[in-house]
Amino acid sequence: MAPPQNAPNLFNLSGDGITVSYSTTSITGTPRFTYKKGRQTLNFTGNEITSVAIGVGTLVSVVIAQVPDKGTTTFSVLLPAIKLPSSNKQAFRTIGITTVTATTIAGPPTGVQQTYKVSRLRGSAQKVAF
């Protein structure tokens, strides 16, 4: 699925105590992702960000925590395809998904290996010049 002609490159979202800012590019040409929850602020750039186009939109993910022999926590945001109006800004709602994947030194544990928490997010998509 190709992005629309007037596609946004900056997304600012918040909800359920989480704030996310994601740009598909930056002044250096690499994507940037900022995740804030409570006092925690995490910044990601380049290949620390995974972006996958899937049938329901684009899933953008970052690893927000890793504890050896216990688990990995990933935060993902689902971005719909958006064709911006002439104002170059569009409000929208979506979801964020916090995924905890269990790990052990011996490999994946028996049973359910991932748990999910879905957060409702709202914000804006816009096109900006970097």
CATH class of 10-125: mainly beta
pLDDT at 116 over 90: yes
Mean pLDDT of the chain: 93
106: confidence class by pLDDT, cuts 50, 70, 90: confident
Q: How many C-beta atoms surround the C-beta of residue 20 within 10 A?
A: 23
Tell me how far apart the alpha carbons of residues 33 and 123 are, in angstroms, rounded to a whole number.
15
pLDDT at 3 over 60: no
pLDDT score for 111 = 87
Instruction: Transcribe 41-61 into DSSP letters.
Output: EEEEEGGGSEEEEETTEEEEE
Tell me how far apart the alpha carbons of residues 2 and 22 are, in angstroms, rounded to a whole number.
19
pLDDT score for 68 = 86
pLDDT score for 5 = 67
88 Ramachandran zone, left/alpha/beta (phi>0; psi -120 to 50)? left
pTM of this prediction exceeds 0.95? no
| Of 3, 13, 30, 21, residue with least CA distance to 84 | 3
pLDDT at 118 over 80: yes
